[in-house]
A and B are shown apart, each in its own frame.
Chain A
Amino acid sequence: MVSKNKERRIHEFLKLLSENQGIIYKICNVYADSREDRDDLKQEVILQLWKSYPGFNGKSKFSTWMYRIAFNTAITNIRKSKKHPIVQALSGAELHVSEKEDIDYLNDDINRLYKAIAKLKDVERAIIMLYLEEKSYKEIGQITGVSEKNVSVKLVRLKEKLKKLMSKQSSHV
């Protein structure tokens, strides 16, 4: 009986994960700089989702829950980096500024967009990504914990910042 329940849970989990797998890949593309880091982060996110799955009570949408867990994993785990972690910590807020590799199957413009997003702070990336995913301010607030009003204020600034970064990226090409 126990193993049948567990099998059912695994099957349910796989089904939900498969329906929302784009979330994992997009978050990994935004937060990881190399193929190796993306693979590591993907594994870490899936592991964390599985560990937290017993706590998913269906009160929120699965995708909302998944975003929360995936962003938390991406933002709060220190990932492998070329820089020594102590040097990283001392260099200030932007702990993950390293040269982002192009993603093979995406074109130059999209890679430039990812590189521009990579120049934002960790939490700013989450907010702008959710906005680009057409989430409402309310949903962005539910996922990040920021109030709707603060979300709208932050987004005004972030959109301008991202436009400037994209212009800089274009002028370097």
Chain B
Amino acid sequence: MSDFNEIENLWKSADIKILAAESLDSETVKQAITKQSIGITFNLLKSIRAGILVLTISVAVFTYNIYGYAGNSLISLFSIISLILSILLLPYLFYQYSSINKIDQSDLSLENLIVAKIKYFKMSLPLVRHAIAMGFVLMTLSINLLTDNNKGHFQINNTWLFLGLMIIAYVLIVIMFNLIHNLYLKQYRTALIDLNESKLTEMAAELRKHKWMRLLFLVITLLGVIAGIIIFFLKTTGN
């Protein structure tokens, strides 16, 4: 096909056939509107909802544990700190839920939308992953405190195994999310390269500025939490 006009004519001729063969009735639209999305946004929102649910459970159970372990100052303190952490993470996840919806519902141009999504994936999503993983660990800890209770003493048969499993669970959840999200990130980056490669370079430079700060914040938080849990278990193995 040497002349592009032939291609243009072919395309126009398809229009009539498409409109003759396809039709959008209100039933089809209503069905589509109530259908669940299959996209990355839906899966992200689902994960955040799961994080909100587990944090809500841990808030409720830690609140009860503070009352139940009133006679044990160490476990009360641990429960109070865990409760505060759960309460702080909840509005954070709600905020992220609304941020993702905002990006998804905006009518930015394709390039700007992909840039917004890549920025979200690189800047906010890593912390969201950790918040969700932390939520699951906190919920498990709160339920264990509730059930492994011997007259106000916290009792675990194998403390170090329990601690190890908590840390492994946390790490596995984060790794799993990371692997899944990186697939989508790769697709967005490819689309952006095809649209405007220089935009990717500009954005990479912007993201690099904040990278070390975010990493430092994350490392300090994780070390703090892990140290807290280890100290807690060291103290309770004597009970």
Contact = CB atoms under 8 A, between A and B. Distances in A.
Interface of A: 13-14, 17-18, 21-22, 24-26, 29, 40, 42-44, 46-48, 50-52, 54-56, 60, 65, 68-69, 71-73, 75-80, 85-86, 88-89, 93, 95, 105-107, 109-110, 113, 121-124, 126, 132-133, 142-146, 150, 159, 162-163, 166-167, 170
Contacts of A13: 29
B203 to A, nearest CB: 13
A49 B187 CA distance: 22
A123 B195 contact: yes
A162 B28 CA distance: 34
B74 interface: no
A14 B117 CA distance: 28
B22 interface: yes
A41 to B, nearest CB: 9
Interface residues of B, number: 53
Nearest to A20: B24
Interface string B36-57: 0111100000000000000000
Given A68-B110, A145-B112, A146-B111, A132 B39 contact: no
B73 interface: no
Given A22-B15, A106-B14, A150-B196, 6 more contacts: A17-B24, A25-B19, A76-B187, A77-B39, A86-B183, A123-B191
A93 B194 CA distance: 9
Dominant secondary structure at the B interface: helix
Q: What secondary structure prevails in chain A residues at the interface with B? A: helix
B109 A43 contact: no
Nearest to B182: A89
19 contacts: A22-B18, A48-B37, A55-B106, A68-B113, A71-B110, A78-B183, A80-B38, A95-B190, A105-B21, A113-B11, A132-B8, A142-B109, A143-B109, A143-B110, A144-B110, A163-B1, A163-B2, A163-B4, A163-B7
Nearest to B21: A105
Contacts of A55: 105-107
A42 B31 CA distance: 11
A52 B190 contact: no
Nearest to B106: A55
Contacts of A167: 1-2
Contacts of B7: 113, 132, 162-163, 166
A122 to B, nearest CB: 6
Nearest to A64: B107
